[in-house]
Structure 1
Amino acid sequence: MAFRYRCGECGFSTSWSTQSLSEDAAIAHYADRHPGLLPGGSFEVNRKNPDSPGCLPMLGIAILLLLIIGSCQR
């Protein structure tokens, strides 16, 4: 499943990721931006496509295409 964290203090949100990575990002965000406060906010589940790996596969394909195009030009 894909999860996203939204900060309860400032509206910050993470990208879609695993639950553990989203939790780590939430803790790091609070330590950096809101020291002294207990982490709050909410987690969202990607309901449109809960098994989605996010945009990483598309990013990888785009980089591959750029490498192929770059190697074909002389």
Structure 2
Amino acid sequence: MRYRYWCGECGFRTAWLTQADGERQQIEHYAGKHPGTPPGGHVESARRNPDGGPGCLHLLAVVVLLLLIAAACHR
């Protein structure tokens, strides 16, 4: 799953990242831009895969497999 971390002090936000990478970037941001302030803000989780993952590729593979089975049984 991917996450985007938002700064609680300014408008900074990370890209969609893994949890570990997002936390690291947020800590680095606070250390550089808001020294002495503990990291805050909120975390947004991706409802769908923002990386353009397989999407309906799995469904297409199942349909092709069913068509192949149907063609083999028709002989």
Matches within 5 A, 1:1-74: 1-47=1-47, 49=48, 52=49, 54=51
Classify the secondary structure of the residue corresponding to 2:13: coil
Larger radius of gyration: 2
Question: Which ranges in structure 2 are unaligned for 5 or more consecutive residues?
Answer: 53-75
Q: Give RMSD over aligned pairs.
A: 1.4
TM-score, normalisation: structure 2: 0.65
The one of the two structures with greater contact order (alpha-carbon pairs below 8 A, sep at least 6) is 1
TM-score, normalisation: structure 1: 0.65
Mapped to 2, the partners of 1:11 and 1:40 lie a distance apart of 12
Mapped to 2, the partners of 1:15 and 1:35 lie a distance apart of 22
Mapped to 2, the partners of 1:26 and 1:54 lie a distance apart of 20
Moved over 6 A (4+): none
